[in-house]
Amino acid sequence: MSSLAGELIPQYFEQLIRGCDCIECREPECRSHKTFNDNFHFQNNNEAAYHAIKQTLRHPFDSHLCPGISRIRLDPSLQIDVDKFDNTIKSLIRTNESQPFISSSAHHTLQLFSNQYVFPYILLSNQNSLSKDNMAINDETIGDLIKLMQHNPKMFSEENFQDLVNNVLKENSNTFHHIRSLILLLIFDPFYSPKTFENTLIRILKNVISLNADSQTKVAQNIFFSHLVNLPRVLRQVLDICQNSLTMYIYDKKDRNLGLNPYNEQFLIISRFLMLLREAMFKVSIKPLPSKQFSNEIFSGLVEPAFFVQYFFGRLDPRLKNAISTFVSNTAIFTLDFKYKVFVDVQAAKQDVETRAAVLDMVSQNGFLLPQEQLIRGSHLNLEVRRDHIIEDTIDAVQLFRDQHLNRKLMVSFRGEDGVDAGGVSREYFHLLMEQLFSPDYGMFTLVQNSYYWFNQNDLGIMPIYYRTLGTVVALAVYNGIILPIRFPILMYKKILKKEITFNDLYEFDPEIAKSLKKIIDMKEKGEDVSALALNFTVTVDNFGEIKEIPLIPNGENEDVTNENVLEYIHLYVKWITNDSIDTKFKAFATGFWKLFNGKVFEMFAPDELDILVSGEPVRDWDSLRKNVKYSDGYRPNSRQVKWFWEIFDRFSDDMKCKFLQFTTGSDRAPVGGLASVVLTIQKTNDPTKLPVSHTCFSIFGLPCYSSKAEMEKKIRIALTQTEGFGLK
């Protein structure tokens, strides 16, 4: 028997008996292929061995050898090397703090990691075959390895690592062990630097985004990202490597005065990778990381927002079209500040077009003799309401507005009241309107988890026009840069952006239901009998004391939930909560919301970023507010009254600080960019008998020159308490 035959027979036998490691096997004569059992029926291993010999004999002219056979199954010495490596790493993890130095023998053993046939199987968390559900990666163990490398950055050879990368990237990417290799390659922080950015990191990321490039299902790519986002320590390491490598690469280019083109391929690749990673996180994570952790401020500063604006208006230089088009579809790399700047500039351009059209229309009808005040009012979106009929007047006005006129700058007035809207009147209007529309007495929304507003599932006979108008009003607030005193769950924005809604979305929206449903899933996975719960395909709801059973399928009250259909039951239950029960109301809201926006522009934002546009930053950095404060009319940073004020402010609870923010800016929420983007002016006023005053249009806090700190604190607290408004803190 020739040496080649001696190598081929075991491989053919392996693929006939155990199958391959392919994600989607394409070899019909391999047990892992979906049609194998239809064509082959071996009574015992001898029959399989006989067929393996036949396959070997016809191999030179009719090969049926599957390329996905795992080498470690055929070569026992590879498993020995894996065991040596694992034992050495585990020993070092146990003793690292007490013995920080690695012996020469241990260092030699560690270099076994550079064998591309050993590397995919290091530190397996279980001995089951790798599969779409099992990458056998223990987050804690890999986290310990990451920590070990931080203490011993030279424990692995850089040259060996580069050889490993080269060999892994040459391999068949349609295998589970290749996916595991890619995840593990991205934790070796010591080997990522400006000099390896293009030839190492970008090549690995390109391989990831190219997985199953010829397949619509992208199975391999989905496996990579779905596992990565469920490994918190590994995910943190991968994000740190991507962000730090990108930042250091940019600084290195600048320091050496080398040309840096932010529209080159390597930046398009890393932007695509970060986008796919963020999208997977929102799809499968119970607690997604904030989108800002995927963005890079340094890179965002290299790209010109004007190019995005030109792209949206179809005026971009054709030479940049491919790059900007890629960035528009992969915006995770850009900061919220950058995207908001693009959004504002696009809206300003649309407002300018509408303003010009309105002015020309008025001039054509009335000549050039109109007073400036009338021209200003005629070029704005004018909304006049009565305070005691604010909902009815808003609905009537919004229905009369032409869609194109919604792009004009909003100017609000209260009937019978003087004053020009420089921003403060609009903020007060939105505040009062939200207070009424979201009141429990009105019944449009319910408060969930004491944190979020969600559509009332009960049918109170509220007409869709109310929800449609509210959608337009929320969009108008975003369009005009006004933060609203409400907060929706992230689920709302996933639905607005038409993202896939999954079971995990319930954990934010209703964690108790999510935990109950998860227990049912766990029962099935443990082999327990789900039918013992006596469930059927219905949802039970409380409609003002009347208990109703709503079928999830036709005749659902007579369909028992069993181990065979429990996953369908969970799917339908989640679908009913997040969609079916509020479908008419949500669609009306979304219709009103989208009247103002170009879909592509708004799709730049992630769901949690839309939340910030509507409701402001949920976390407030009070030190950033203080750093930007200006002083006027005699006050300076070292003025006695100013020092007293900050001493008082520092003692405030977070709730009282929010009231101060509401008092001075018209909103208790931080806008896009956080409190660092709020420029507050503390203005000296001379009558110490009066309370502090504010001018929310201009974020001015009028602070009288009080003679004592105690008097100042008393009057500030009175002022803030008397103006307490509506809103979730």
Say what angle helices 390-400 and 424-437 make with each other, to 10 degrees: 110
572 vs 365: CA distance, rounded Å: 58
- Alpha-carbon distances of 108 from 95, 103, 157, 354, rounded to whole Å: 18, 9, 10, 71
Distance of CA 11 to the CA centre of its chain: 44
Question: Residue 541: how many CB atoms within 10 A of its CB?
Answer: 14
**HEC string for 220-239:** HHHHHHHHHCCCHHHHHHHH
Catalytic residue list contains 25: no
Of 484, 475, 331, nearest in space to 407 by CA? 475
Check if the beta carbon of residue 699 is closer than 8 Å to that of residue 679: yes
DSSP calls for 255-314: HTT----TTSHHHHHHHHHHHHHHHHHHHH-SSPPPGGGG--HHHHTTS-HHHHHHHHTT
Please enumerate in sequence order all residues whose Cβ is within 8 A of that of 10, keeping only pairs 6 or more positions apart, or say none: 52, 74
What are the respective helix, strand and coil percentages of the chain, to the nearest 5?
A: 60, 10, 35
Distance of CA 31 to the CA centre of its chain: 40
Q: At residue 383, what is the residue type?
A: L
DSSP calls for 572-598: HHHHHHHTGGGHHHHHHHHHHHTTS--
615 vs 490: CA distance, rounded Å: 11
Specify the residue for token string 């507050």. Answer: 680
Specify the residue for token string 């009338």. Answer: 374
* DSSP 8-state code for residue 560: B
Check if the beta carbon of residue 176 is closer than 8 Å to that of residue 131: yes
543 vs 247: CA distance, rounded Å: 55
29 vs 22: CA distance, rounded Å: 13
| Rounded CA Rg of the chain | 32
Check if the beta carbon of residue 455 is closer than 8 Å to that of residue 585: yes
The encoded tokens of residue 368 equal: 């050039």
Kind and range of the H or E run holding 80: helix 76-95
Catalytic residue, chosen from 20, 25, 697, 705, is: 697
Q: Report long-range pairs for 402-406 (Cβ below 8 Å, ≥24 apart).
A: 403/595, 404/354, 405/354, 405/381, 406/381, 406/472, 406/475, 406/476, 406/479, 406/595, 406/596
Distance from the first to the final alpha carbon of the chain: 79
Q: Which residues pair with 695 in a beta bridge?
A: 700
The encoded tokens of residue 248 equal: 């250091």
Q: Which residues pair with 547 in a beta bridge?
A: 542
- Alpha-carbon distances of 97 from 151, 153, 167, 233, rounded to whole Å: 9, 15, 33, 20
Check if the beta carbon of residue 434 is closer than 8 Å to that of residue 485: yes
Q: At residue 592, what is the residue type?
A: G
- Over the range 480-506, which residues count as b (16 or more CB within 10 Å of their CB) and which as e? bbbbbbbbbbbbbbbbbeebebbbbbb
Q: Which residues are catalytic?
A: 697
